[in-house]
Protein backbone atom coordinates (compact mmCIF):
# COMPACT_ATOMS: atom_id res chain seq x y z
CA UNK A 1 0.00 0.00 0.00
CA UNK A 2 2.88 2.36 0.74
CA UNK A 3 4.31 1.83 -2.74
CA UNK A 4 0.98 2.79 -4.27
CA UNK A 5 1.01 6.17 -2.54
CA UNK A 6 4.65 6.64 -3.48
CA UNK A 7 3.82 5.93 -7.13
CA UNK A 8 0.86 8.33 -7.03
CA UNK A 9 2.99 11.09 -5.50
CA UNK A 10 5.79 10.48 -8.02
CA UNK A 11 3.36 10.69 -10.94
CA UNK A 12 1.81 13.88 -9.57
CA UNK A 13 5.28 15.41 -9.15
CA UNK A 14 6.24 14.47 -12.72
CA UNK A 15 2.96 15.86 -14.07
CA UNK A 16 3.41 19.10 -12.17
CA UNK A 17 7.01 19.39 -13.37
CA UNK A 18 5.94 18.82 -16.96
CA UNK A 19 3.22 21.46 -16.67
CA UNK A 20 5.70 23.97 -15.22
CA UNK A 21 8.24 23.31 -17.99
CA UNK A 22 5.48 23.76 -20.59
CA UNK A 23 4.37 27.08 -19.06
CA UNK A 24 8.00 28.25 -18.91
CA UNK A 25 8.48 27.33 -22.61
CA UNK A 26 5.30 29.14 -23.69
CA UNK A 27 6.22 32.28 -21.74
CA UNK A 28 9.80 32.14 -23.10
CA UNK A 29 8.54 32.04 -26.74
CA UNK A 30 10.13 28.64 -27.37
CA UNK A 31 7.15 27.74 -29.56
CA UNK A 32 7.33 30.90 -31.66
CA UNK A 33 8.82 29.36 -34.83
CA UNK A 34 8.20 25.62 -34.99
CA UNK A 35 8.95 25.36 -38.71
CA UNK A 36 12.57 26.46 -38.28
CA UNK A 37 13.63 23.18 -36.65
CA UNK A 38 12.16 21.21 -39.55
CA UNK A 39 14.13 23.19 -42.11
CA UNK A 40 17.35 22.97 -40.10
CA UNK A 41 17.12 19.18 -40.17
CA UNK A 42 16.14 19.17 -43.86
CA UNK A 43 19.00 21.40 -44.98
CA UNK A 44 21.60 19.63 -42.85
CA UNK A 45 20.65 16.37 -44.62
CA UNK A 46 21.09 18.01 -48.02
CA UNK A 47 24.48 19.57 -47.31
CA UNK A 48 26.40 16.29 -47.55
CA UNK A 49 25.14 15.23 -51.03
CA UNK A 50 25.65 18.76 -52.34
CA UNK A 51 29.24 18.76 -51.07
CA UNK A 52 29.87 15.40 -52.76
CA UNK A 53 28.53 16.76 -56.06
CA UNK A 54 30.84 19.75 -55.82
CA UNK A 55 33.81 17.44 -55.25
CA UNK A 56 32.83 15.38 -58.30
CA UNK A 57 32.50 18.53 -60.38
CA UNK A 58 35.93 19.65 -59.22
CA UNK A 59 37.47 16.34 -60.36
CA UNK A 60 36.39 16.91 -63.95
CA UNK A 61 33.27 14.83 -63.57
CA UNK A 62 30.00 16.58 -64.31
CA UNK A 63 27.62 17.10 -61.43
CA UNK A 64 24.62 17.06 -63.84
CA UNK A 65 25.26 13.62 -65.30
CA UNK A 66 21.95 12.34 -64.10
CA UNK A 67 21.12 8.77 -63.24
CA UNK A 68 22.27 7.36 -66.60
CA UNK A 69 25.71 8.96 -66.26
CA UNK A 70 26.12 7.62 -62.75
CA UNK A 71 25.20 4.10 -63.90
CA UNK A 72 27.68 4.27 -66.74
CA UNK A 73 30.41 5.47 -64.39
CA UNK A 74 29.65 2.68 -61.92
CA UNK A 75 29.65 0.11 -64.71
CA UNK A 76 33.11 1.19 -65.86
CA UNK A 77 34.63 1.34 -62.40
CA UNK A 78 33.44 -2.11 -61.30
What digits encode the pLDDT tens for the residues 5-46?
999 999 999 999 999 999 999 999 888 877 877 777 777 666
pLDDT above 80 for 4: yes
Cα 14 versus chain centre, distance: 27
**pLDDT class of 72 with cuts at 50, 70, 90:** low
Q: Which residues contact 25 (CB under 8 A, 6 or more apart)?
A: 31
Q: What is the pTM of this model?
A: 0.44
What's the pLDDT at 17?
98
Amino acid sequence: MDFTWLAILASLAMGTGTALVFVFAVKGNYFQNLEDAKYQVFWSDLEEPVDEQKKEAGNGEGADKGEHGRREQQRHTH
